[in-house]
A and B are shown apart, each in its own frame.
Chain A
């Protein structure tokens, strides 16, 4: 187990270097430091000298390989550096400010989605083959087919405008934040519901047809126990895999959701950085995203081994 973890962490080093390299190459394919310099100095109609100074100040005048080594080394040591923008604030400071709104919304929608989707999937699986199952599954397909934007705008219109139950957009710190988080969480849960319920239902039904279910029934175990004990524990394994995809989202937030609801989270920070070609911020955020994703997968593997005793981490 310990050996496995060490090996996985070592494997993640080349992955992270690869991520940094790709970000670096992609960045230079779309923008040059001169353009960035112009953008950030534009108000003063910069001279060639000013641009040179700016490039020097931000390290863009060094040879490309030197830049890559320097920035990558900084990221690995979690020295995220300063933004390329005029203010030049520390990236770490901004992350510390904006991780909480993202985390709050992601954590709430993650737990709500898992609980609701799993319960609904259990219900339709229990009533498999009945009209409830057929209509439920059809509704799932319908919900899957509607685009995310409809849920966002529709939710804002109905809850924010018509019913005036929640603010349309924005965010405030503290307990007040729950009022602002409500609508994004509902939209996140509803938009993912169709696909998840259908997928979880399939996981359940796959397990329902297994021989051990027949054995449990032959022992006289009740249907509820068969479903909630025998089937659920086995179906938890594929449910875990699909759910772990949400873990990076817990930190980076849903980019679309945050920009539409104007939530000052990490997703919004990343979108702003991309729009203003703030390479220092983009590379830091991409690196952290990769780090969190790798961490999430390691976490899944550990939870596999906890649920399914056939899995051994070696």
Chain B
């Protein structure tokens, strides 16, 4: 098996807030193979965006800081790099697109300038080559008249077009990894589908890896190879997309899937997961999901479940599933 492109281990990203220490990301581990697409799914406040920003080391300072953990990228721990070394990776090997296309582009510079800047910063493309590449990138992301767009300012474009420009900027230096933080949340439904298809196609064409952050479990089946479900700063379940959707293990995942509209449950009222994610300054003791869980047991109130692997590609953090040793003994060793 290939070594993973990105391996995040026990990542903890905390924030100092007036309400106390906010443990936004609290022990997240996952691995991403070259060419693989993984989705991180969770409600608002579950820590999924902060996970992505931690990889880029763009967590808002000085309030936010990475408390502990490792982020191995191509075998190097990104957390050991200096700011300047990290800067040479940002936008060149790891790119990121954001949720708010309306405000993510600088209003006073042309689109052409902003795409070219991504290339000139890293010196991979220069001068006319950079301009030519900006032109072809805009074509690739589906802009109709690239020549005109290059000279336009962000306010002259719609939200969907701006997100396409953001994608073009992200792809400018042919990154190995694209972090897409809720790239379709702010867009109309029809545009959402177009952008998702575009991202999937680009991922396939370029062979890059992609980490898709989303709160919408409905879109992951179109794009992702595997899914990590986040709740209260932790990953509660990780599985290949098809397995997760057809046979969710964790009660939270089951709740998320039951709240999706589906043809098989047509005519019935949609399931609602009661309650909200608790504030990250006061995570509940025991299992962090226990007060919203339908299958709560005595142990859930007091003891936090550990992550157990359920087969080679699956893991879940829940007391309902037997400990790691028990599971590995049932599985044939490879």
- What residues make up the interface of A, taking CB atoms closer than 8 Å to B? 129, 210-212, 214-223, 225, 230, 233-234, 307-310
Contact = CB atoms under 8 A, between A and B. Distances in A.
A216 B104 CA distance: 9
Contacts of A225: 121
Instruction: Enumerate the 9 nearest inter-chain pairs by beta-carbon distance, A residue then B residue, closest first.
Output: A220-B91, A219-B91, A212-B106, A211-B103, A220-B90, A309-B153, A219-B118, A218-B96, A211-B104
A211 B163 CA distance: 13
Interface in B95-116: 95-96, 98, 100, 103-109
28 contacts: A129-B62, A210-B103, A211-B98, A212-B107, A214-B98, A215-B98, A215-B104, A215-B105, A215-B169, A216-B117, A218-B56, A218-B96, A218-B98, A219-B121, A220-B87, A220-B91, A220-B118, A220-B122, A221-B117, A222-B87, A223-B83, A225-B121, A233-B106, A233-B108, A233-B109, A234-B108, A309-B108, A309-B155
A236 to B, nearest CB: 8
Interface string B22-66: 000000000000000000000000000000000010100010000
Contacts of A212: 103-107
Contacts of A219: 90-91, 95, 117-118, 121, 169
A308 B58 contact: no
B60 to A, nearest CB: 9
Contacts of A217: 58, 90
Given A219-B121, A309-B155, A214 B58 contact: yes
Given A220-B122, A221-B117, A215 B166 contact: yes
Contacts of B103: 210-212
A211 B122 CA distance: 21
A310 B92 CA distance: 30
Contacts of B68: none
A311 to B, nearest CB: 10
B88 interface: yes
Nearest to B87: A220
The interface centre, meaning the residue of A218, A222, A225, A230 with most chain B CB atoms within 10 A of its CB, is: A218
A152 B292 CA distance: 69
Contacts of B106: 212, 215-216, 230, 233-234
A310 B155 contact: yes
B159 to A, nearest CB: 13
A218 B105 contact: no
